[in-house]
Structure 1
């Protein structure tokens, strides 16, 4: 039997919109007790119903944690305009807003809050933990630094040229012109192969997001081009040597792809100031196998669950 899930909306003072979230409860949940709680953050272009919620959120709830999987502002069922905006600063602020909500819940132990992020959500989890001290432990699953990826693969390795194009597009839209929305993935795996795409991350991302395997109404892979500038000068790992002190678990697969999670995982493991940090490199495992494939996710969770139980213990 599936664990109970409550769909909620968070509106905190100072916010102009709601954050949509699903709360996954443990078996035999007792609202009179206090539980260790994990904030679960979805990948770039994803939503709370995909890997952050239905895989890792559900699994951690079965192990006795309360888990809140939320949609980023401007995306999914959360509010915020313009839609399809990927703003790293706001993504990090979302963690603070979710934390504010959690500490008001009588069944959440405010001293036992951890965070888990998948892909871009992993990079955002790192960034949030540096300045949000209510986060006591951090796990990244094939975590990626979206700022680095924006300057490299998503920016054609020409960040200044990309910023010039963004500026022109923003001017066009300010004058009433048509918005430009880019889908970062091909329409299908077959179309990708016909176009000569060979990168494992692009092919497997397309298989995940564009087929019934992972496809959901809110799991969009499109972005508003005119709002991409915010990511170009952002770095998820900035000052990690000083500020990232919480216990850290980094999980990556050893099949590197174009989105760069393998290199980012090794980098943050080396740079983090955390005295208690662990690196799990799963052999013969790709980025998107860690989203939902049972063999990969089971191996990851075999490390994640005891890590959280150790560091979010009473």
Structure 2
């Protein structure tokens, strides 16, 4: 069963879907998992896919739209702000603790792509989270640093902020080209980018509220966000990292092993899905079934 719910972050509402297991009884206590979507995504896409599948195994799960995006509130629109993204997860935990049918000592988090980076990062300081899972986790600072010239990007961000301070319209750009053809015409041949387009911009994973828009000045915050900073000291919860071994340009295979090697967790594991790429782990049945075959026993053990 799926319910639309809302919870507060600061003075705006965050829109979420709450997934309840079959035979749900509000008089029982359930373990709960917060599912965190990638950058450019919304709750109905891969985060909702995992939330639904995991709820079928007896958990209560919640997937939400990031602040400033999708159906959630907050201004300015289309902002990707790492600090607020992490706070969104904490607010989701706040909300779960208000539900009488949730065992507040059995709350976990699962993040996909950038959501995996945010999931690892929130666990550094949010110890109400008792177990951490990631799928194709991406560390923003590494991805941006390797995708172009970060110093030039920061110069451009500064110029745009000056222009907007003087009255210019906010610059809103795309996360990806709008089509594979557009990407190829622009000289883009990176497999991860083309597969991102296949997921987000075709009927395979398209959702109208995942509209491929990002506020350009977001780059000033995302480009320096190291999701794994202090993980060697503060990330102590049980940790399961899922990666595919078909390595692409976005760095999730590398980032998964970086997080595994760095985390202070005494109970940690990394599982490699053979033949899977970054986006296969979003929705493709064979790859996601293998991932869920590891995630569900992990959460059952630790929650």
Task: State whether TM-score is above 0.5.
Answer: yes
Residue 172 (structure 2) pairs with residue 181 (structure 1):
yes
Cross-structure match for 1:32: 27
Cross-structure match for 1:7: 4
Aligned partner of 2:262 among 271, 274, 298:
271
Aligned partner of 2:231 among 233, 240, 245:
240
* Mapped partners of 2:206, 2:131: distance in 1: 30
Cross-structure match for 1:51: 46
| Contact 1:85–1:228 under 8 Å retained in 2 | no
Cross-structure match for 1:172: 163
User: How do 1:105-120 and structure 2 match up within 5 A?
Assistant: 105-120=99-114
Cα RMSD (Å): 1.1
Residue 79 (structure 2) pairs with residue 85 (structure 1):
yes
What's the offset of the Cα at 1:284? 1.1
Residue 132 (structure 2) pairs with residue 138 (structure 1):
yes
| Contact 1:123–1:236 under 8 Å retained in 2 | yes
What's the offset of the Cα at 1:178? 2.3
What's the offset of the Cα at 1:231? 1.6
What's the offset of the Cα at 1:59? 0.5
SS at structure 2 position matched to 1:47: coil
* Mapped partners of 1:33, 1:215: distance in 2: 36
| Contact 2:32–2:59 under 8 Å retained in 1 | yes
SS at structure 2 position matched to 1:267: helix
Q: Report the more deviating stretch, 158-167 or 126-135.
A: 158-167
CA deviation string 1:39-94 (max 9, x = no partner): 000000001000001x2101100000000101111111111111110100111111
Structure 2: 5+ residue stretches without partners: none
* Mapped partners of 1:19, 1:293: distance in 2: 28
What's the offset of the Cα at 1:199? 1.3
What's the offset of the Cα at 1:220? 2.7
Cross-structure match for 1:304: 295
* Mapped partners of 2:302, 2:196: distance in 1: 32
| Contact 1:43–1:120 under 8 Å retained in 2 | yes
| Contact 1:38–1:114 under 8 Å retained in 2 | yes
* Mapped partners of 2:78, 2:60: distance in 1: 29
Cross-structure match for 1:291: 282
SS at structure 1 position matched to 2:141: helix
| Contact 1:251–1:282 under 8 Å retained in 2 | yes
* Mapped partners of 1:226, 1:191: distance in 2: 24
Structure 1: 5+ residue stretches without partners: none
* Mapped partners of 1:288, 1:255: distance in 2: 10
Q: Alignment length, in residue pairs? A: 303
| Contact 2:20–2:60 under 8 Å retained in 1 | yes
